[in-house]
Structure 1
Amino acid sequence: MTSQNTENAAFKLAKAEVRQAGLTARGSLSPVERIEHSLSIAEFMRDLEVEPGSMVAGFWPIRDEVDPRPLMDALLQQGCSLCLPVVKGDDLVFRRLEKGAEMEPAGFGSMAPGAGADVVNPNVVLVPLSAFDGHCNRIGYGKGFYDRALNGLEKLTNLTAIGVAFAAQEVEEVPMEPHDRKLDGILTERGLLIAKN
């Protein structure tokens, strides 16, 4: 094994350990705590300073993830439009979410509007994650869907990407690769974290 391969293997192991630490911390929260924290997060909606008329991509919670739907509803009440991600091959597309929309499986246990919904390009993306650090570095689930999606959207719009998570998911440091995008902020039940320089 070359030194480059050894470095890559060590880096992947470090990422896997950080991911597991965040998921373990998240999993230790009770269902009631997860609901209460998810509701508390919505109370910080104004701190995001999202312009009315923005197209905001939320996400459908899976497993024991934070539930961003109260936050999404608050943004909707402030005049934003909403969309949800759908897995298409190795990529995400975003379908407009309308009240009463027919929902269907969208990959990995999530739900989204059906194929008849408009495909849109959000300018604000609420990003799920496994773990994050104080510099707003995020680690996802290891498939790179959001890294690719954010990279593509940045070429089309002035993008804001906000991680939404429980405070318990914060770790000391997230190992970052060149293709990993630092988020513009992380919103937890404790409020909005802006990246430290």
Structure 2
Amino acid sequence: MSKAENVAGSLVEVKKAVRKAGLSARGTLSPVERIEHSLGLVEFVAELEVEPGSVVAGFWPIRDEIDPRPLMDALAQAGCSLCLPIVLGDDLEFRLLQKDGPLVPASFGSMAPGPEAEVVHPNFVLVPLSAFDRRCNRIGYGKGFYDRALSELEKLTNLTAIGVAFAVQEVEEVPMEPHDRRLDGILTDRGLLRTGD
């Protein structure tokens, strides 16, 4: 085995450990704590500085993820359009979310607008994650959907990507590879952490 293969293999193991640490910490929160922390995100909506008229991609929470839907509602009330991602093959497609519009079951137990919904290119993306560090590096679930989606969206729009998580998911360091994108900030129940803070 070459030195490069050894390094790549060890990085995979380190990433697995970091992912597990973030998810384990998230799993220690009670259902009531998860609800309270999710609702608390709304207190920091002004700190996001999202321009009215922006197209904001949220996400439908799965398992014990933080729930961004109250925050998404606050952004809609501030004049933003909302969309949700759906997995198509190895990529994410963002579909416009209409108030009272129909939702259909999507990958990983989430929900999303159906195929009749307009496909949009958000300029502000709320990103789910397993773990994050103080430098706004994130680790997802290992499939790379958001890394690819953010890379494509950056070609189309002036993109802002903000991770959304519970504060307990913070780790000392997230190992980064060339294809990994540092986020512009991380919003938790304790407030907004920006790149460079």
- 1:48 matched to 2:48? The reply is yes
How far did residue 196 of structure 1 move? Answer: 2.6
Question: C-alpha distance in 2, partners of 1:161/1:110?
Answer: 20
Shift of residue 41, structure 1, vs aligned partner: 0.8
Q: Secondary structure at the match of 1:104?
A: strand
2:132 is matched with: 132
1:100 CA displacement: 1.1
Find the counterpart in structure 2 of residue 72 from structure 1.
Answer: 72
Residue of structure 1 equivalent to 2:27: 27
Q: Shift of the alpha carbon at 1:195? A: 1.5
- Alignment match, 2:167: 167
- Look up the equivalent residue of 1:78 and give its one-letter code: A
> Given the two structures, how large is their TM-score scaled by the length of structure 2?
0.99
1:117-156 to structure 2, matched below 5 A, reads: 117-156=117-156
Shift of 1:4: 1.1
Alignment of 1:3-14 (within 5 A): 3-14=3-14
Structure 2 Cα separation of the partners of residues 79 and 118 of structure 1? 18
What is the rounded CA distance, in whole Å, between the counterparts of 2:116 and 2:182 in structure 1?
A: 33
Q: Distance in 2 between matches of 1:195 and 1:102?
A: 36
Counterpart secondary structure, 1:119: coil
Displacement of 1:92 after TM fit? Answer: 0.1
Read off the aligned partner of 2:35 and give its amino acid letter. I
Could you list the structure 1 runs, at least 4 aligned residues long, displaced by more than 3 angstroms after superposition.
none
Aligned to 1:86: 86
Over residues 18-51 of structure 1, what are the superposed CA-to-partner deviations in whole Å (9 max), with x where a residue is unaligned? 0000000000000000000000011100000000
Q: Following the alignment from structure 1 to structure 2, what is the Cα–Cα distance between the partners of residues 49 and 127? A: 16
The runs of 5 or more residues in structure 1 that have no matched partner are none
Report the 3-state secondary structure (helix = DSSP H, G, I; strand = E; otherwise coil) of the residue aligned with 1:71: helix
Gaps of 5+ in 2: none
Q: Displacement of 1:168 after TM fit?
A: 0.1
TM-score under structure 1 length normalisation: 0.99
Deviations 1:90-119 (A, max 9, x none): 000000000111111221111101111000
Contact 1:129 1:138 in 2 (8 A): yes
The secondary structure found in structure 2 opposite 1:193 is strand
How far the C-alpha of 1:169 sits from its partner, in A, is 0.1
Identity of aligned residues (%): 72
Q: Which residue in the other structure is 2:39 paired with?
A: 39
